[in-house]
Amino acid sequence: MKLLRFGAPGSERPGLLDNDGTIRDLGGVISDIGAKTLSSTGLEMLRSVDASSLPTIDSNVRLGPPVADVRHFIAVGLNYTDHAIETNTPIPEEPVVFSKAPSCIVGPNDDVLMPPKSRMLDWEAEVAVVIGESAFELAEEDALSVVAGYLVCHDVSEREFQIHRSGQWIKGKSSPSFGPLGPWLVTADEVPDPQSLDLWLTVNGDMRQSGSTAKMIFPFKYLISYISQFMALEPGDVITTGTPHGVGLGMKPPVFLQPGDVVELGASRLGRQRQTVVLRG
């Protein structure tokens, strides 16, 4: 299934994308796409629904983030060797784990709001995983069993805040709009091999990133198991898993986003996003 949320910010309704690419309204079946919906029981119930019986929604409707009320937005840095090399950073021996504030989450086509003091606004195309079952100290061989699905994540990053402001990476990763998710959550049964997804990103039509999850240093099952050794994972948690090479910081000389720039990105099986950079007032 491809689950989504549509409507004005803060008033999104749950929906799904049917096999014909039509948006269907799930509001008469569930109240939202959150922790209960994402459990194996919740997803099985949704699979039993006849999509053709649901009301259709205009394809031009705004899409919101596919998951509501995210409590933990966990991120992994430097998870592609070529990205670590381009940023002159040692290849990690263990996953680099940090957080993004859940308040930065927006829809896949919402504007990226550039902070007024930003000088190094950067892009990062990523594949994120959404947790569907509670998990703590999970064995690696069991890790994928708690996955509800996968989605595209744009890990927007302000490099000066992240690197030069004497603190944790969360500083440069959490401004409002720095976490576009979607366009939809693709349930795990439709992604038989998450380690074979192609990623791409363009800025103003120019290709900047092209990679594959096959080149991740730490694969999905390892990351989920690893992170669960340090914290209890809960249904609805989002883990975004790193970006391939091609970020602005790695260009020579570095190139960063400016107001008016248009960023498009996507991943095979998971859909695409489009954002315009707007200076936040």
- pLDDT tens string 226-242: 999 999 999 999 999 99
274: its two tokens: 């489009």
- Cα→Cα distances 13→24, 62, 189, Å: 10, 11, 23
Please provide the average confidence, as pLDDT, over all residues in the chain. Answer: 97
Q: Which helix (H) or strand (E) holds 89?
A: none
What CATH number corresponds to the domain at position 136?
A: 3.90.850.10
- Report whether pLDDT(83) > 90: no
Residue 53 within any structural domain of the chain? no
pLDDT band at 167 (very low <50, low <70, confident <90, very high): confident
User: Domains in the chain: how many in total?
Assistant: 1
Rounded Cα gap, residues 187 and 59, in angstroms: 21
**Does residue 121 lie in a domain region?**
yes
Residue 102: inside a domain, yes or no?
yes
Judge whether 41 lies within some domain: no
Are 247 and 111 within 8 A, CB to CB?
A: no
pLDDT band at 79 (very low <50, low <70, confident <90, very high): very high
98: in domain = yes
Asked if residue 148 is part of any domain, the answer here is: yes
Closest CA to 242 of 96, 135, 100, 113: 96
- pLDDT in the model for residue 25: 98
Residue 163, pLDDT score? 92
Q: What's the predicted TM-score (pTM) here?
A: 0.97
Asked if residue 23 is part of any domain, the answer here is: no
Structure confidence at residue 84 as a pLDDT band (50, 70, 90): confident
Residue 262 has which token pair?
A: 């248009």
* Domain region containing 209: 65-279
